[in-house]
Structure 1
Amino acid sequence: MSIRVQQLTKQYDSGQRAVNGISFSVEPGQIVGFLGPNGAGKSTTMKVATGYLPPTEGTVLVNGFDVRTAPMDVRRSVGYLPEHNPLYLDLYVKEYLRFSGELHGLRGEGLTREITQVIERVGLGQEQHKRIGQLSKGYRQRVGLGQALLHNPPVLILDEPTTGLDPNQLSEIRQVIREVGRDKTVLFSTHIMQEVEALCDRVVIISGGELVADSPLTELRAQAEGGLTVVAEFETDLADAEALQQIPGVQTVERIAPGQYRMTADSGTDLRASVFRLAADRGLTLVGLRQQASNLEGIFRELTQK
């Protein structure tokens, strides 16, 4: 009932290496956020884990089954909502869910019972007799989530599951994911940090196909709370911005606007006095200096820009 990714590499025929030797695992009862900028390799990894794409190298086990040698067992074990939710727009909601259930081998009263339960769970009660093409984007997402849950799989892989939902719908779907995550393995990708904070036990971050972080959310929060950022604004651009990088305790320096520089520091390090002395020693006009506590978005940006 787990996901185990070991040294996974996926290279397309074009030569593009979308994923490069990443390893991580998701245990039963865990909800893990899978993060990364666009093009980082998240969707590719998820497609390999569902058996949709074969790996180039490495091993992926889902619920104990290898995606190479037991692809049908993997597919039976997984509920999958892809990034671009593929739906038959001419079908009615209940008709589509019945079709999806039959593909998973459900029949008769058992299928009818599962359809009724999943419609209630994802909040499709008022929409169940409509054609999918008549639904808003948010309700179409609910239909996609419903088909992923319909056969009661032990593993859920959700690629951007809250796309297109309004704030009320977001709260409802988060509650659904939180509930099913109690006894399932859940891996979901998102760009929304509030989603991560509301749902996740752990976060896996990839960038450029490489794993850059794999830690409990509590540790990531501690890193965000401990890290400090200083924004220094000078009257003009610095001729030698490298001087900022030489200040003790500085990790990174980023020019964010003409004359403005964002510096990240080691945990507990206050750079303001050092920046002020640098400006005084070099005869620079310092017109602004402020310190910011890093948040999760800042940590994400830092990790994915390295």
Structure 2
Amino acid sequence: MITVEHLTKRYGSVTAVDDISFTLETGHIYGFLGPNGAGKSTTMNIMTGCLAASAGEVTIDGHDIFEDARQAKRLIGYLPEIPPLYTDETPWEYLCFVAQAKGIPAKQIPDEVARAVAETRLDEMAGRLIRNLSKGYRQRVGIAQALLGSPPYIILDEPTVGLDPLQIIEIRDLIRQLGEKHTVILSSHILSEVQAICESVLIIAHGKLVAFDTPQNLEKMLTAAGRMTLCAEATPDQVQGLLAGVSQVTGCQAREDEAAGGCRAELTLQGDANAAARAIFLAFAKAGRPILQMTPVRADLENIFIELTEDEPSGKKEPIHESGI
């Protein structure tokens, strides 16, 4: 378990990370989202012991990252946004060096490097100079060094940045496989990537944690909870007239839809969505106008991200916390 409590980082008068707290359980893949300058990389650098905090605590399985750094760092594998590769070495030579730096016993290094090479599918490239490898294979080398020593926690900062679409797919598949054996914390600007891979999402904006929940729960709670699509056997004017008597409907854009056999409308709602749906159903049933479809509109992760990060924080808004995985 990784526990972050009241973490703060200041650079003079600028607060990069502002009193954030969260707990990451083992056995999951977490997504870490935020706009440029939000404090994501700063938080990751503090969590891995690469940067000191101005205040707060970070513990890795009970080991304080500052007070018990040696033991805590043994539990973490870290891929920074720019992998620290020695391009005049081969992946095998580089990984042997990193294994030594991590304190892995000399007799175990060949087997440990071979395991990391196999897990990241670098076998055919292990003997080539790193400077001659593609961006995708360099990222694999960076991930391989994070795997050395079999740390239970893998932290990846923008692992697919700069890759072509095929390389992105390959790295995503690799991250999913890592999630079967490790707890993975993944930072990314690609929202679809986080939505496809991660089981839970942390969103940080202006240095503050503004959300921590599953993508599915965030979709239910935010942005589109007050919208609904309606399709009924009626004209647009009839739909408008029937909905005028439903107090929960505050807006309606209706148009004919021959393919659907009637009218399709986009509704804006207030209050409880279930109560609104019931009132709409009863109004149409009483008028003898069949409802063919009535569907709440769910927000996607992109809309959620925009809603939570576009405005300056007031300091009073409580973050949306995880309800459980």
- 1:303 maps to 308
Determine the structure 1 residue equivalent to 2:131: 133
The residue type equivalent to 1:300 in the other structure is: F
Question: How far, CA to CA, are the matches of 1:81 and 1:140 in structure 2?
Answer: 11
1:19 partner SS: strand
Counterpart Cα distance in 1 of 2:32 and 2:59: 17
- Mapping of residues 5-20 of structure 1, within 5 Å: 5-12=4-11, 14-20=12-18
4+ residue runs over 3 A deviation? 223-230, 264-270
Specify the alignment match of 1:63 in structure 2: 61
Identity percentage over the alignment? 44
The 3-state SS of whatever aligns with 1:221 is helix
Mind listing any 5+ residue stretches in structure 1 that lack a counterpart?
231-247, 251-263, 271-291
Q: Give the residue type in structure 2 aligned to 1:179.
A: Q
The answer (yes or no) to whether the contact 2:192–2:301 under 8 Å persists in 1 is no
Cα distance change on mapping 1:249 and 1:203 into 2, 3 Å: farther
- Count of residue correspondences: 256
User: Deviation per CA, 1:182-202, whole angstroms, max 9, x where unpaired?
Assistant: 342221100112221221111
Query: Deviation per CA, 1:269-299, whole angstroms, max 9, x where unpaired?
Result: 99xxxxxxxxxxxxxxxxxxxxx86321011
**What's the CA shift string for 1:137-173, capped at 9, x where partnerless?**
2211111001001111011111111223333332332
Question: Is the 2:202–2:213 Cα contact (8 Å) retained in structure 1?
Answer: yes
Structure 2: gaps of 5 or more residues: 229-248, 252-267, 277-296, 312-325
Which residue is equivalent to 2:3?
4
1:62-109 alpha-carbon deviations (Å, 9 max, x no partner): 122112211111211110001121111111110000001111122344
Bigger Rg over Cα:
2
Partner of 1:111: 109
| Shift, 1:229, TM fit | 7.3
- Counterpart of 1:51 in 2: which secondary structure? coil
Q: TM-score, normalised by structure 1?
A: 0.76
- 2:49 is paired with a residue of what secondary structure? coil
State the SS of the aligned residue for 1:157.
strand
Q: Is the 8 A contact 1:156 1:185 kept in 2?
A: yes
Query: Which residue identity is paired with 2:3?
Result: R
- The answer on whether the counterparts of 2:29 and 2:198 sit within 8 Å (CA) in structure 1 is yes
RMSD value, Cα: 2.7
Could you tell me how far apart the structure 1 residues matched to 2:54 and 2:192 are?
A: 34
User: Which TM-score applies when normalising by structure 2?
Assistant: 0.72
CA distance in 1, matches of 2:77, 2:83: 13
Deviation at 1:265, TM superposition (A): 7.3
